[in-house]
Structure 1
Amino acid sequence: MQTSDPLAVRVRGLRKRYGTPRTGYKDAVDGLDLDVAPGEIVAVLGPNGAGKTTTVEILEGFRDRDDGSVSVLGEDPRDGGRAWRARIGVVGQESRDLYELTVTEIVRAAAAYYPDPRDPAEVIAAVGLTEKARTRTRGLSGGQRRRLDVALGIVGRPELLFLDEPTTGFDPQARHSFWDLVTGLREGGTTILLTTHYLDEAAQLADRVIVVRDGVVVAQGTPDSLGGPEARTPVVAWDDGGVRRTERTERPTAVVGRLMAQAGPDGEVPGLSVTRPTLEDVYLSLIGETLTDDVKVEAAR
């Protein structure tokens, strides 16, 4: 049923449970609330198994829910028909393979399903596949297939675009080109709900970041304010007789001066460092993890 909801997405008390009486049940989504305003880019972050993909699939109408209310572009996805579906774009995690069709043939075929599609050649150029326009899908690399998925998601000129890990397999140049594309879509009025494991991607694109853990929202805010003011307070760290000490302070220079005075004539403070927590630091603290080497590499890409 269509409503006059001013929000592009409104979710209240969303629940989804998997399992059987014999194996037991697990709540993939456990009372989640979510709002997305028209024209906003919202990034949903969370560890594997947090319920991000399940939530997005329910919003897209591809998965049913057990409880809660959901409104997407004024309609319940359970009841969304062809006209409603033409208003959304979906870029899922898995590539769709049509091995014998060329890139141009696939994008043109997809465009035919929409009342006001973008020009297929323009879309192919936007995702960086012009040189592969006549290549059959089986001849594309994994990253190029991912770009094709993005082309299929935006060719219908969607009002609301779901991007689930959209830049997986992209090289750095392609990722930055894609970010420009997403920014242009938002400037054109498209609302975007993004899930990503790339923290720099969320920081670059999102107006608001939502962190999900164990099926519920644990924090939300702009990329610069997530976690509250204290979470971004600088941290002074130093070694003291083999013990690592830290102090969170808004006046790091004063703390460093005090430590230098205590250090003696040479003023050297072993292991001294002053850092301001990044989005990665705040995010990992919210989900109860530390910055592993794998995450450092992922964040640096």
Structure 2
Amino acid sequence: MSIVVTGATGQLGRLVIDALLAAVPAGPVAAVVRDKAKAADLAERGVELRIADYSRPETLAGAFEAGDRVLLISGSEVGRRVAQHTAVVAAAQAAGVAQLAYTGILGGPEADFLLAEEHKATERAVLDSGLPYTFLRNGWYTENYTANLAPVLAHGAVVSNAGEGRIASASRADYAAAAAAVLTGPVEEHLNRAYELNGDVSWSLAEYAAEVARQSGREVAYTSVPAEAHREILTGAGVPAQFAEILVDVDRAVEHGALASRGDDLTRLIGRPTTPIAETIGAALAGA
């Protein structure tokens, strides 16, 4: 029996591997990756590599074994993820894995924004498979915002159509720690459960802008604009129209509270408070 992480060379996947190796020996840890060379550092740490591609179902046949505890990290190719995830679910079902954990979206079937649709379809596929599951419904990563600090600082502005909506974000490492906890803890405690995962403290984009200004020593202001104006700003900056629509829709969801707190599942799983937004901002500024 192995603990298997798909998408293991991605930003979240690597952090999950780090968290696993801090909790268990490398021997039972396996990484499903597309590019063996890209995962050479994982192999050097004793992690077993299994080569497969979400978009090539035939490669997934050897990715899992009976009794494995598997983490399906959602793919990054919006619009293609249902087919990709369904292929992984089918391979896990055929292998007879003992647990299939999936990184979905906060709110699960109640999430009413465009970016949630593929996650909801994946959860339905997992349920239909009959596999023992754990749904890790991740809220927003703070890094979704701090990764965009360069233009914020250049223009001294955070622009959004989220109004005064609040976001209970956590760091990517927090979510990785939660995934490691459900993969290494007693399996019976986590089977057929859905965890709503979000940060301990919610914040508005006005508060985010103020904290960036405080730590950077620059003037940064928050401006809330209508959805159509925000869409035009994004496409004018070169964001593809389809992705701009998703970003505007997410901000609409934020305004309506879809990414605000849904409880303390994340803190309970990781056994500590979630990472404060000020800490993640500071780390991003230090690396800028």
TM-score of the two chains, using structure 1 as the length reference? 0.28
More strand by share: 1
| Structure exhibiting the larger radius of gyration computed from Cα positions | 1
TM-score of the two chains, using structure 2 as the length reference? 0.29
